[in-house]
Amino acid sequence: MGNLLCFWVVAASSLVFCGSWANAKDASASAVGDPGMRRDGLRVAFEAWNFCNEVGEEAPGMGSPRAADCFDISNHSLIHKVSEEDNKLGIGKQFPGLNPKALNNPDLYAAEKEIYLGSLCQVSHAAKPWQFWMVMLKNGNYDTKSGLCPENGKKVPPFNPGRFPCFGSGCMNQPILYHQPTSLDGKDTMKGGFNGTYELDGNSYFEVVWEKKFGSGSWNFAHKLRTSKKYPWLMLYLRADATKGYSGGYHYDTRGMLKTLPVSPNFKVRLTLDIKQGGGPQSQFYLIDIGSCWKNNGAACDGDVLTDVTRYCEMIINPETPAWCSPTNIGNCPPYHITPNNTKIHRNDTANFPYGAYHYYCSPGNALHLEQPNSTCDPYSNPQAQELVQLLPHPIWAEYGYPTKKGEGWIGDKRTWELDVGGLSSRLYFYQVWNLKNFVYIVWGYTNFLLCRIQVPLLLQEYGHLLMWGRKFL
Ligand SMILES: *[C@@H]1O[C@H](CO)[C@@H](O)[C@H](O)[C@H]1NC(C)=O
Ligand SMILES: *[C@@H]1O[C@H](CO)[C@@H](O)[C@H](O)[C@H]1NC(C)=O
Ligand SMILES: *[C@@H]1O[C@H](CO)[C@@H](O)[C@H](O)[C@H]1NC(C)=O
Ligand SMILES: *[C@@H]1O[C@H](CO)[C@@H](O)[C@H](O)[C@H]1NC(C)=O
Ligand SMILES: *[C@@H]1O[C@H](CO)[C@@H](O)[C@H](O)[C@H]1NC(C)=O
């Protein structure tokens, strides 16, 4: 286990990913800007986050951790819309539209750089403009002595280490990012990518490579992620974010692919998933993860981190992931399960509650009226309080087309799924102080439809795992 390089395998086959959303009523209506990822002129961006979804400090020479690779096609050649100079923009450097307050603040600067890159990439001829797919990389180290992350949105003083991985000062750094701008070779293949590491000696590794035949097929996205001793907790997503507004995990305006926000229960996701390597027993790989933001009174989020609550719903398909929710640990279960015919089964109903279907449920840390026993979510890893509903494959999800058995969709079991994500998410418990006047339908502000995280907060000796995966949305 000590030798990190033993996990270093060259991807022999291409990992495939592309995406589309279908509205339940009209299968041809897609919420994403580029359904099926068939458009030759690709739009893809990169962002890196520290533990509480901010920048903290830029990596030397890298600029602000936001970048993009966007191009149009003209007369059989690629016309790039974002220069490498744009990609290297960092604090102290001006760009059009930059708010002077953000000029020397790495957190504010990154948010504004994303808007700027979005303006360069925006596909505006469409009825509803859209910008880019988002590759998101997160380092889960938290230096508790830095006082950098708020607790459920509240600024708190530094505290003693022990709860989170951190090798010492500098553990929350931003990565070294390499960009291979998309180019067209003599065989009519377009290819580009982002890769890099958190260490100068390069033990941790991330890579996203995209490839497509000019004029046919769809983009293939190949992903690799490897943790290291110093960086045991990494996440890599490929996301479709909202084209504007506050989405889950952010407290500022973002740019993305979702021209129309998916509203439960009427949306579906069709995809083929092919995982090449699993990332070890602690890896949480989400078949799909969706996130949004609304307040505990049902109101839409407005950037006030004290009352905004990020909500996530995700199915973990690593078969080694156990259910922490059980008849003897009902505090790890949502208060009730809702059946497709809208019957509520309370978690203390041991004869009927599907304990094995829930890995873990945790409530927002700012909730005041919780059923006991409760388990509240980590208060530091988002800028605001958060709520998580983590599912596991189980027969009760069959109705929605989700995996029903452990191992389904995992390594060696490439499959095509048609997930009724809207239907399922509308029958999950989310904490809310019911107030019918304020009630908003669940609007999923972003959809992390490809996400993996290797999360090893407790077993620090578990590192060096390599995870490789791909999928195709149909
Ligand atoms: C397009 O490319 C072809 C072949 O390279 C060239 O002959 C033609 O002049 C180009 N057209 C324009 C409008 O640039
Ligand atoms: C990133 O990718 C490039 C191009 O494939 C490669 O030359 C480079 O070695 C990679 N970087 C690392 C840190 O492996
Ligand atoms: C709803 O479904 C449950 C099982 O999922 C079943 O026991 C119950 O009878 C159903 N109720 C109605 C009203 O159909
Ligand atoms: C189960 O929980 C509900 C709601 O808290 C409560 O009303 C009920 O009495 C509980 N039943 C048992 C058997 O504990
Ligand atoms: C949640 O549970 C803890 C531990 O039992 C308790 O101290 C706390 O008051 C509970 N929180 C709420 C909001 O009920």
Q: Which residue has the tokens 């019918």?
A: 436
Of 369 and 1, the structure prediction assigns the larger pLDDT to 369
pLDDT at 263: 81
pLDDT computed for residue 434 by the predictor: 64
- How many CA atoms, within 13 angstroms, populate the side-chain half-sphere of residue 232? 18
Query: What per-residue confidence (pLDDT) applies to 220?
Result: 83
Torsion of CA 244, 116, 302, 129, to 10 degrees: -10
CA-based max dimension of the chain: 66
pLDDT level of residue 237 (50, 70, 90 thresholds): confident
> What is the C-alpha separation between 192 and 182, in angstroms, rounded?
4
Percent of all residues in the chain with a pLDDT value above 90, rounded to a whole number: 58
Q: What pLDDT digit, counting tens, does each position of 308-359 carry?
A: 999 988 999 999 999 999 999 999 999 999 999 999 999 999 999 999 999 9
Mean pLDDT, rounded, for 230-249: 84
List pLDDT tens digits, range 258-316: 888 888 888 888 777 778 888 888 888 888 888 888 889 888 888 899 999 999 889 99
Please give the C-alpha separations between residue 194 and each of 77, 88, 208, in angstroms, as whole numbers. Answer: 21, 14, 5
Cα separation, 357 vs 326, whole angstroms: 10
Q: Which ligand is nearest to the CA of 73?
A: 1
- The arithmetic mean of pLDDT across residues 400-406, rounded, is 97
3-class DSSP assignment, residue 114? helix
Name the strand (E) or helix (H) holding 424: helix 421-425
The reported pLDDT for the residue numbered 470 is: 54
Q: What average pLDDT does the chain have?
A: 85
Decide whether any atom of ligand 3 lies within 6 Å of the 341 Cβ.
Answer: yes
**Substitution candidate for ligand 2 out of 195, 225, 228 with most atoms within 8 A of CB:** 195
Q: Residue 460's pLDDT band (boundaries 50, 70, 90)?
A: very low
pLDDT greater at residue 7 or residue 115: 115
pLDDT band at 465 (very low <50, low <70, confident <90, very high): low
What ligand 2 atom has the least distance to the C-alpha of 207? Answer: 1
The whole-number average pLDDT for the span 179-190 is: 97
Report d(CA 448, CA 286) in Å as an integer: 9
Determine whether the shortest distance from the Cβ of 375 to ligand 5 is under 6 A. no
More confident residue, 34 or 455: 34
For residues 394-403, give the mean pLDDT. Answer: 97
Asked whether residue 227 carries a pLDDT value surpassing 60, the answer given is yes
Indicate the pTM of the whole model.
0.88
Q: Which of 275-279, 364-368, 431-435 has the lowest mean pLDDT?
A: 431-435
Q: What is the mean pLDDT of residues 191-218?
A: 92
Q: Is the link from the previous residue into 373 a cis peptide, with omega within 30 of 0? A: yes
Euclidean distance between CA atoms 430 and 309, whole angstroms = 11
Report the half-sphere exposure of 56 (CA within 13 A, side-chain side). Answer: 26
Burial class (CB in 10 A: 0-12, 13-18, 19+), 200: exposed
Instruction: Tell me, using a 6 A CB cutoff, whether residue 370 lines ligand 5.
Output: yes
Query: 372 CB under 6 A from ligand 3?
Result: no
**Can you tell me the distance from the alpha carbon of 45 to that of 377, in angstroms, rounded to the nearest whole number?**
29
* Ligand 2 mean position, distance from CA 201 (Å): 13
The pLDDT of residue 19 is: 30
Question: In this structure, what token pair is assigned to residue 380?
Answer: 């530091």
Q: Where do the domains of the chain lie?
A: 13-473
pLDDT confidence of 469, banded at 50, 70, 90? low
CA distances from residue 37 to 10, 33, 375, 458 in whole angstroms, order as listed: 25, 9, 40, 38
Q: Which residues line ligand 2 (CB under 6 A)?
A: 178, 180, 195-197, 202
Task: Give the pLDDT confidence of 15-27 residue by residue, as tens digits.
Answer: 222 233 333 344 4
Confidence check: pLDDT of 384 > 90 = yes
Pick the atom of ligand 4 nearest to 348's CA. Answer: 1
pLDDT classification of 53: cutoffs 50, 70, 90: very high
DSSP H/E element including 234: strand 234-241
What is the sign, positive or negative, of the torsion defined by CA atoms of 460, 462, 468, 473? negative
